[in-house]
Chains A and B, each alone.
Chain A
């Protein structure tokens, strides 16, 4: 716990300046509060303070039934609601040993990959904006708009979708779904090259990100980083490859690994992941099997007594759901393993001895979503 006396002690050190970045700050993308100790422009220490958007979601889930608690999880990592719901639904299915129909599996994977794309698009714009280029944000939103429209067609909502339910998906996809997705893929395949032209090759951007926020493979593992943050340091941690779920083991896609360990490596991982997601969607969109979109389940779900864990690869890393059941209709305890929390813990390590501009670039490259860190 950070005490006021600590601030006084540190600011009394010659030349140190304590500055609060957040909770209201343009580049923390939410209500993250960083207490930064500076010496001139050089960062000596970064201390993240959480709790500004704590809604005690885990506690709330304890009083909700196994069908209901999934809806709450859409509001955690609001940029990948589908994936959150997917993880929770999978954990419940594991407990009840429900077999998900193949059609539902494919729809789930398609939705997951679309979510990953839309999340990475937003990250791309936001990271560019953190580094000072304002235009990419609008270009990213132009493409993201098409994905949110696809979601709206099928799920009815644009941001916090509640589509994955235990046993499958809530409703069948819209009749227009395949056409919209194909249109989007054709459009986006050109635009992703435009993204590279606009930002990736820019010399200022490369100077700002190369060698900045370095974290070695060993440290990335020991901080518990996952997702693109860890893969940017060469850690193989893609849940889709290591513990395949749904139809991922039948698909042809690569796990992107970059050995760099700096902001630019993390940037490249996400850019290449977008291309992989496009390829996954292309493989599946014409091959959605016929059949049920939802398995037959009982009206009231009761998990057997025991502990269940399942994890999915969200846009930010490993999203894990851990359910302890006492055999009732509501979980005894739920714990979510959110990727952002572990990734944030490495922020202090990465940004020490950097400049203020580096801190902002590192935060951009970690792709933090605050409601996911602070549940």
Chain B
């Protein structure tokens, strides 16, 4: 059966037998870059369309339904519009930083893709500190946001950027701690090992209460980290018009917009990998017929299914909850989520040492 693993191996072998090692490596780099950019564009289109349809469904509307069948080309049309729009730079803005900021946000999002496993043995770079790499790189994007807010020379942007800085830095702590919970349980930082450790059951089932608490905290924290409602204080449409990207237009705005959706995708992939077994199919004990049927579904579909389920949950949040206030947001993190995740980590560690998990 052709799987992503076989295709990747075939290309790898063919390149290395046809060209010498350096050229083959360069070609592989190019292929990966093209794939990543392609994935980003497709993701942008799919997720924005999905968001519009999900919100329309929740808001008793129809959503886009004119361009193409069921409106699926609406986002393409919007992207074209953004491309031909003039990318304005305000007069008194810091032009260098203003134009650099969207690329930093975008590059940070691209880098996180490297250690993620999209299917069985289908991974760009199976680095042995994969989880650490992900947490480290995800903190870089806040620099881009702060830069955008500061360089715009706009008070709304500045307020948005400062909110965003406080928010992302705070929520990274509990996101990190809930990731460490799984690292403790699976005894590895390497993404492929973490997934292998879930072969006999996903961590959310195997890890008892600590894993479930960690999962809930992870979802809350990443919603805040990606600046999504109810934690969208950096944008806060009704308060700060558009927050840190008020002054951006055209493709520069589109990059921020795209980065937001790609970040949602990435955090959901991480959540699916750590808690829901990544590309591992759903298995129930010794029920072999059921397990074999589940195995028949391709591993990439498993990962994307889990990811899109999590994305749907995050979209669901956005269209039902009101927004928190900045002090409530920070209280929630420092007074509730952080202590809970610390105690939870202790519990998980004790559990891992005593071997109480399955």
Contact of A356 among B237, B239, B324 (CB under 8 A): B239
Closest to B163 in A: A41
By secondary structure, the A interface counts as helix
Contact indicator A138/B324 (Cβ below 8 Å):
no
Mask of A38-80 contacts with B, CB within 8 angstroms, 1/0:
0001000000000000000000000000000000000000000
Closest to A202 in B: B322
In the bound complex, CA of A357 to CA of B326 (Å) = 8
Q: Which of chain B's residues 308-351 have a Cβ closer than 8 Å to chain A?
A: 319-328
Q: Which of chain A's residues 293-351 have a Cβ closer than 8 Å to chain B?
A: none
B115 interface hit (Cβ, 8 Å): no
Contact indicator B239/A205 (Cβ below 8 Å):
no
Q: List chain B residues, Cβ under 8 A from A204.
A: 230, 321-324, 328
Closest to A363 in B: B238
A360 interface hit (Cβ, 8 Å): yes
Q: List chain A residues, Cβ under 8 A from B323.
A: 131-133, 204, 208, 357
Chain B interface size, as a band, is 20 to 34
Closest Cβ of chain A to B77, distance in Å, is 23
Closest to A131 in B: B322
Binds B, one of A19-27, A86-94, A231-239: A19-27
B229 interface hit (Cβ, 8 Å): yes
In the bound complex, CA of A369 to CA of B67 (Å) = 36
Closest Cβ of chain A to B238, distance in Å, is 4
Contact indicator A26/B155 (Cβ below 8 Å):
no
In the bound complex, CA of A238 to CA of B156 (Å) = 40
Q: List chain A residues, Cβ under 8 A from B241.
A: 25-26
Among the interface residues A132, A208, A356, which one has the most CB atoms of the partner chain B within 10 A? Answer: A132
Q: List chain A residues, Cβ under 8 A from B159.
A: 19, 41, 356
The number of A-B residue pairs with CB atoms under 8 Å apart is 84
Q: Interface residues of A, CB < 8 Å — how many?
A: 30
Closest Cβ of chain B to A20, distance in Å, is 8
Query: With A128-B322, A208-B325 known to touch, is A27 a contact of B238 (CB < 8 Å)?
Result: yes
In the bound complex, CA of A133 to CA of B319 (Å) = 7
B59 interface hit (Cβ, 8 Å): yes
Contact indicator A133/B320 (Cβ below 8 Å):
yes
Closest to A359 in B: B239
Contact indicator B322/A132 (Cβ below 8 Å):
yes
A273 interface hit (Cβ, 8 Å): no
Closest to B323 in A: A132
Q: List chain B residues, Cβ under 8 A from A25.
A: 241
Contact indicator A132/B236 (Cβ below 8 Å):
yes
Closest Cβ of chain B to A59, distance in Å, is 34
Closest to A142 in B: B60
Q: Which of chain A's residues 181-238 have a Cβ closer than 8 Å to chain B?
A: 198-199, 202, 204-205, 207-208
Q: List chain B residues, Cβ under 8 A from A360.
A: 238-239
Q: List chain A residues, Cβ under 8 A from B232.
A: 132
Closest Cβ of chain B to A19, distance in Å, is 5
Contact indicator B155/A17 (Cβ below 8 Å):
yes
In the bound complex, CA of A375 to CA of B240 (Å) = 28
Q: Which of chain A's residues 133-181 have a Cβ closer than 8 Å to chain B?
A: 133-135, 137-139, 142
By a beta-carbon cutoff of 8 Å, the part of chain B in contact with chain A is 55, 58-61, 155-156, 159, 163, 229-230, 232-233, 236-241, 319-328
Using A204-B324, A356-B326 as known contacts, list a sample of 4 further A-B pairs with CB atoms less than 8 Å apart, ordered by residue number in A.
Answer: A132-B232, A134-B59, A358-B325, A360-B239
> Which 8 residue pairs spanning A and B have beta carbons closest together?
A132-B323, A138-B59, A27-B238, A133-B322, A357-B325, A131-B322, A132-B322, A130-B238
